[in-house]
Amino acid sequence: SQELEQSPQSLIVQEGKNLTINCTSSKTLYGLYWYKQKYGEGLIFLMMLQKGGEEKSHEKITAKLDEKKQQSSLHITASQPSHAGIYLCGSQNNAGNMLTFGGGTRLMVKP
Amino acid sequence: NAGVTQTPKFRILKIGQSMTLQCAQDMNHNYMYWYRQDPGMGLKLIYYSVGAGITDKGEVPNGYNVSRSTTEDFPLRLELAAPSQTSVYFCASSRPRDNQPQHFGDGTRLSIL
């Protein structure tokens, strides 16, 4: 089965700093999803990447997909306390009916 | 918009008890999913359904059962609760494959004591 490894597992940054979260797959990526989970709540969809080299942005969050490396990165520019939470990457299987999730990256932003 | 609604939000069960976690979506999504999230971990797929009357096992189905009699509802049943089933359970739904994201409920926190 596919495995997704996220790094780092946790991260504490000062407000205003940039940060990057990585998601590496053990198998071919057919579709890579990024979600954010606020502590104690459900998952909120951020963005989805499908093609190698694809890059998407939403406000101050940018995600990229490196198909050859089977890896995606999520970059937050000028972090704010509202960015705090758990970021999860999920990979879609070839049939498109299942997601496999990474272990998550816990982000804290210190004011 | 309601989206995906899960009930209850919290529950404490004794070992051996049974219960049903409810999940309903009002987006007319064909696909529905049940995940569990253990502390400090990612989500593990328990069961999923691609439409009414069709269910399939995910990664960790043992100890659970599901049914899908309507498009809207996808209940998860625990027959004999065990401490290992203490977790947060999330239900999600999506449109059929065309790379549509899954929409998640707020979760049910279940403790088995």
**Mean pLDDT, to the nearest integer, of A84-94?**
90
Minimal Cβ distance to A98: which of B42, B48, B104 = B48
Residues B34, B82: Cα–Cα separation, whole Å: 18
Annotate B19-83 with DSSP letters as a single string: EEEEEEESS--SEEEEEEE-TT--EEEEEEEEETTEEEE-S--TTEEE--SSSSB--EEESS--G
Residues from A in contact with B at Cβ < 8 Å: 1, 4, 6, 31, 33, 35, 41-45, 48, 50, 88, 90, 92, 95-104
Are A103 and B50 a contacting pair at CB < 8 A? no
Residue A97 pLDDT > 80: no
Residue written as tokens 């707020």?
B106
pLDDT at A51: 79
pLDDT at A92: 83
Annotate A49-85 with DSSP letters as a single string: E-STT-EEEETTEEEEEETTTTEEEEEESS--GGG-E
CA-nearest residue to A32 within chain B is B99
Euclidean distance between the first and the last CA atom of chain A, given in angstroms as a whole number = 40
3-state secondary structure of A8: coil
Are A1 and B41 a contacting pair at CB < 8 A? no
Q: Would you place residue A94 in the very low, low, confident or very high pLDDT band (cuts 50, 70, 90)?
A: confident
pLDDT at B97: 66
Are B42 and A102 a contacting pair at CB < 8 A? yes
pLDDT at B27: 93
HSE (side-chain half, CA atoms, 13 Å) at B12: 1
- The bridge status of strand A105-110 relative to strand A55-58 is unpaired
pLDDT digits (tens, 9 = 90+) for A11-39: 999 999 999 999 999 988 878 999 999 87
Minimal Cβ distance to A42: which of B48, B59, B104 = B104
Residue-level length of chain A: 111
pLDDT digits (tens, 9 = 90+) for A40-70: 788 999 999 987 788 999 889 999 999 888 9
pLDDT (tens, 9 = 90+) of chain B, 113 residues, equals 679 999 999 999 999 999 999 999 999 999 999 999 998 788 999 999 999 999 999 999 999 999 999 999 999 999 999 999 999 999 999 987 667 889 999 999 999 99
Go through A30-65 and write b for each residue having 16 or more CB atoms within 10 A of its CB, e for each that does not. bbbbbbbbeeeebbebbbbbeeeebeeeeeebbbbb
B104 touches chain A (CB under 8 A): yes
